[in-house]
Each structure stands twice: as C-alpha cells, then as structure tokens.
Chains A and B, each alone.
Chain A
Amino acid sequence: MRINRKEAWQSFLLVAPSVALIAVFVYGFIGWTARVSLSEWKGLLPDYTWAGFSNFAELLADPRFMIDVRNTVLFTVFFVGGSLALGLGLAICLDQGLRGEGIFRAIYLFPMALSFIVTGVVWRWLMNPAMGSRLSGLNLLFHNLGLDFLINEWHTTPFWGIIAIALPAVWQMSGFCVAMYLAGLRAIPDELIESARVDGASEFQVYSTIVLPILRPVTFSSMIILGHMSLKVFDLIMAVGGKQIPLDVPAMYMWQVTFEGLFYGKGAAIGLLLLLSVAVLIIPYIIYTLRGETEL
C-alpha cells in the first residue's frame, strides 16, 4: 500500500515506543555487555578499566569452559536428534487418520505447557541414580519389569551424564516437532503419495524419496529452533542436577561466575559468546524466512 508522508510519520510514532525499548534493552544492552566483557570488572562495583580480550583468552584456556562446550555439543546432538526422530515418527503415526488422533496429539504436546523447572524437578526423581536396595524412579521401574540391563546412573554417569539431561528435554520439546511435522505432512497433497503407490513404490520408498525431502524445510526450522534453545539451556539442568561441574553449560557458568562469583567481565564474555553462537544460527534463518514474502 502506498503511504504518504503524514501516514509514514503516524505509523512510525505507533511503533516508536517499542522500537526504542528494543533498541535500548536488546541492542544497547548487548553493546553494554560487550563493553563489560572487555573490562576488568570484578566485585560489586563497576570497573570499566580496559582489559582487551583477556576475559575471552582466559575462557579459551579454562578447563571448565571446555567442559561447557563439550556438554553443549553432546546435549545438542542428543536433544535435537532425539526430538526430531521422535517427532517425525509420532507425526507419521498420527497422520494415518486413526481414531483418537486428537487425544494422542494432546498428550504429546502437553509438556510444552510446563516450565523446565517443573519438568526438571519431576525427572530429578525419575532419574534417581541410587543403586542396590535404594533403587527408585525409572531404575526401579526397569527392575520391576525385568529390564535390569537398562538400570543406569543417569546424569551422574561419569563423562556422559549430560546426555541423560537430554531425555527430559526431549520429553518436553518433542511435541513441538510432532506439531511441526504433522502440519508439514498434512500439507502434502494426497495425490502425490497415491500416484507413487500406484507406480508400485513401497511404503518405505514413499517416505524416503517423497515425504522426507518435502519435509526438509520443516526439519530445518525445527533444528534451528531447538538448536538455539539447546545453546541456552539453563533451567532444566539447574532443576535436575543443580550446580555441578560435570553437568555445566555456558549459561550456568555465566550465571555463577557473574552473580555468585562477581566476575562480571568474565560473565559478560560468556554471555557474548553465547550470543555469537545463537546469532550464527538465527541470523541466516531470519533472512531465509523473510526473503520471498509477498504482500497481499
């Protein structure tokens, strides 16, 4: 729609308050954080003495930060991979048009309405690592079902513990993938699938050569959304494991080093590195999504 000068001003004034708030609280604050990350600020009082990139250099040589990076990678792979696989599998089952579909869908998606704290508190007891006579939670269930080989130490397993945290994360977020894939599946014209079947394609071929390639953009979007959540994970780990170095992630380190340790410079540097990793994922995604929009 063509708009004249007066309308342009009026419309700008309508968004101006929000634009100003975002400019200050998002971009201004990121700039401020960047300045803190280049300072020597330790302790309660602000200290903007120039420190160059020393906070970043310290982090790269910091064994705890290396654990964080490793944990983030492991968590991301299992959380995103698990959610996508479970989401696609259940969406395909839901798409068969069976009775009770609505109820199943409602059950798969409800954890999305909960907070990571609630999820974490409950799973903390489900993943109770106590052994022997103190067996409880899922381990006890496995034992009662005769599946003793599944009994494990969950998040207290040395080195691999972070993978156990991906389980409640998948529990909470896979519903998102179910919904995304189901919407994607419903958008595929039936004739396309039918004609492939008429041509003699097996069910497996139908899915691997037609359905999955069509769903690629859905997979891509889900990966980006879950992937960026995974980089920011904090509440869930707090609620399941508390503050433990083996389960440490950048967001936890940032919080502890800043608000408990008062190493503001270092905390700001972690925050900025987190932002950078999210930006690498999200900025191309925003550009990709907004390109090719048409105005009605």
Chain B
Amino acid sequence: MSRKHRYGFYIPLLAGAVFYLLPVYVMLVTGFKGFEEVSLKTMWDLPTTLHVDNFVEAFNKLSPYLMNSLNMVLPTAVIAAVLGSLNGYVLAKWKFKGADIIFPLILFGIFIPYQSVLIPLVELMRSINLYGGLPGLMLAHVIYGIPITTLTFRNYYATIPKDILEAAKMDGAGILGIYWYIMRPLSVTTFVVVLIWQFTQAWNDFLFAVVLTNPANWPITVALNNIAGSQVIAWNLQMAGSLLAALPTLIIYIFLGQYFVRGMMAGALK
C-alpha cells in the first residue's frame, strides 16, 4: 500500500487513544480542581487554577489502606514467584512420573472462579485464626498465585535446551545446583515478569480482600469501593482516590510495560 493510504490509519488510532484516555482526563481535571470549582455540570472543563486539595484529602482518607495493600502485596509476590520458579523448573526439566498429570491440574487453578472455594477458605481461616487480618489474605494470594507463576516459569524453562542441563549433570551438578547456578540466573527476566504480574494481581484484587479482611485491614480496593458507595463522600474525592489507588500499578506499567505485557500474555497459556 502507498504511504499516503496508510496515514488514514491515524484516524482510528487517535479515536482509540481518545477512548482509552477519556477516563484519565476526567480523573486528572477533577483531581486538580479546587473544592469550590468542582461540579458535575463542569466535569469536562479544565481547572482554572491548579489545586491538590483533592489528592491531599483523598490521601489522608486512604493512606492506611494504601499501606495495607503495600504490606500485603510485596511479600506475597516474592513468595509466589519463588515457589513458581521451583515448580516451573521441575515441571519443565525433571519430569518425574506423574509430572505431566500434575501440571495441567495446577494450571486449572489459574482459571477457577474463586466463588467455588470461598466458603471453605473462610472456614479454614477462621479455624486457624487468620480470618480478618492481612496474613490470611497474603496466604490466599500466595496459594492461588502459584498456578500462574508456575506456568510462566515453566514456559520459560522449557525453552532452555536440555544439553545445558546434561552438561552440568556430567560435571556433577545436582538438581538444586543446576537450578541455583544455571536456571535461576538465566531467568532473571522471568522473575521480573512474574513479580510485576503478582504485584498487580494482588494489588487489584477485591474478592479475597472483601471476604477475608476486616475494616482495619482493608486493602485499597475495598476501601475505595466503600467510599464510592457512600453518599457523603464527594465524587471529586472518589476520582482523586481512584488515581491514588491506581498509581502504584500504573507507575510499574509506565516504566516496565513490556514485562507487564509478557505476564499478561502468559495467562493465555502459550
């Protein structure tokens, strides 16, 4: 096709960009308006002066919940990544008898609707005294994160030629030695992909959080949904709060977007 023809593609590309950015525009202009200037009638107008009151106010309201999310998400992502890496290594390279049955059974765990395990989960957490707090929520995120981290690592380790392992074995390395000195250093990128993905998933989760935590331990998603449902909290604060809640994962996306996309595509199995 001629170059001139192709420039026509900018029209749908730009229209698409407007569609995706529209909500961000509203979040930003609303957030930066002063309290007296905020009105649903002038929702689309630019702020006349720049204020940060909305963000300060939203932060004051939401900071404990942002901290809950942060405290819960970081260890969760690390533990799920380490377990996934070990599983992926074994299931890709040390296929003991039954490994090919175990793998699809683990994979199914990525897709299950958590409604089918929620009642036992709550009952168990109650009986081991982890109900209501962050450790119980973290445990749930680690366990239900294992399937996707296992899959991502296994798919990566499967691409490493077995000659490398054979050679290391000849030199006397054992299973753990090969993992530690060869596979682990090779999979640094996959660790980044998996950590980012787990961080995002756990940060954005609502279902486990709303069922397993009490108000003092709410992560940001539950707190945000709660202020959005309340009649007394103004919509401008909801907008500013949404931006604060989105910021950590958004920053990761902006700086490490390519790894994020790889994590996202891993969920499609191939």
Contact = CB atoms under 8 A, between A and B. Distances in A.
Q: State whether these chains interact.
A: yes
Contact of B43 (A136, A275, A289, A295): A136
A113 B40 CA distance: 27
A60 interface: no
A22 B116 contact: no
A46 interface: yes
A15 interface: yes
Given A15-B87, A33-B119, A274-B113, A225 B268 contact: yes
A15 B90 contact: yes
B10 A98 contact: yes
Nearest to B164: A296
Contacts of B160: 296
Interface string B81-122: 001001101110111110100111111110111111111111
A128 B238 CA distance: 14
Given A121-B242, A136-B41, A242-B229, A18 B224 contact: no
Interface in A108-149: 108-126, 128, 130, 134-137, 140-141, 144
Interface of B, secondary structure class, is helix
Interface residues of A, number: 109
Interface string B5-27: 01101101100110111110011
Interface stretch (A50-58, A152-160, A208-216, A226-234): A226-234
Interface stretch (A6-14, A63-71, A73-81): A6-14
Nearest to B40: A136
A8 B93 CA distance: 11
A26 to B, nearest CB: 5
Most buried by A among B41, B242, B270: B242
Nearest to A21: B143
Interface in A27-67: 27-30, 32-33, 36, 46
Contact of B95 (A3, A14, A26, A115): A3
Interface in B162-179: 162, 165-166, 174-176
Given A25-B121, A136-B40, A235 B116 contact: no
Contacts of A125: 26, 40, 43, 235, 238-239
A228 B111 contact: yes
B261 interface: yes
Given A1-B165, A15-B86, A286-B108, A113 B260 contact: yes
Interface stretch (B46-54, B130-138, B184-192, B204-212): B204-212
B219 to A, nearest CB: 10
B228 interface: yes
B90 A90 contact: no
Interface string A254-284: 1100110000100110111011001100110
A175 B253 CA distance: 13
A126 B40 contact: no
A117 B224 contact: yes
B21 to A, nearest CB: 6
Contact of A274 (B87, B107, B116): B116
Contacts of B68: none
Contacts of B204: 114-118
Contacts of B103: 290
A119 B204 CA distance: 11
Nearest to B203: A115
A179 B264 contact: yes
Interface residues of B, number: 102
A113 B253 contact: yes
B76 interface: no
A22 B105 contact: yes
A150 interface: no
A226 B19 CA distance: 20
Contacts of A86: 16
Contact of B13 (A26, A33, A93, A141): A93
A15 B268 contact: no
Contacts of A254: 115, 118
A268 B160 CA distance: 43
A98 B268 contact: no
B232 interface: no
B215 interface: no
A286 B104 contact: yes
A11 B9 CA distance: 53
Contact of A271 (B95, B116, B161, B267): B116
A282 B111 CA distance: 7
A205 interface: no
A179 B104 contact: no
Interface of A: 1, 3, 7-12, 14-15, 17-19, 21-22, 25-30, 32-33, 36, 46, 86, 89-90, 93-94, 96-98, 100, 104, 106-126, 128, 130, 134-137, 140-141, 144, 171, 175-176, 179-180, 183, 203, 221-222, 225, 228, 231-232, 234-235, 238-239, 242, 250-251, 254-255, 258-259, 264, 267-268, 270-272, 274-275, 278-279, 282-283, 285-287, 289-290, 293, 295-296
25 contacts: A10-B174, A15-B90, A15-B102, A21-B146, A22-B147, A29-B116, A29-B120, A33-B119, A46-B123, A90-B12, A112-B264, A113-B260, A115-B203, A115-B245, A121-B228, A125-B40, A130-B40, A231-B113, A242-B229, A258-B118, A278-B111, A282-B111, A286-B107, A290-B104, A290-B107
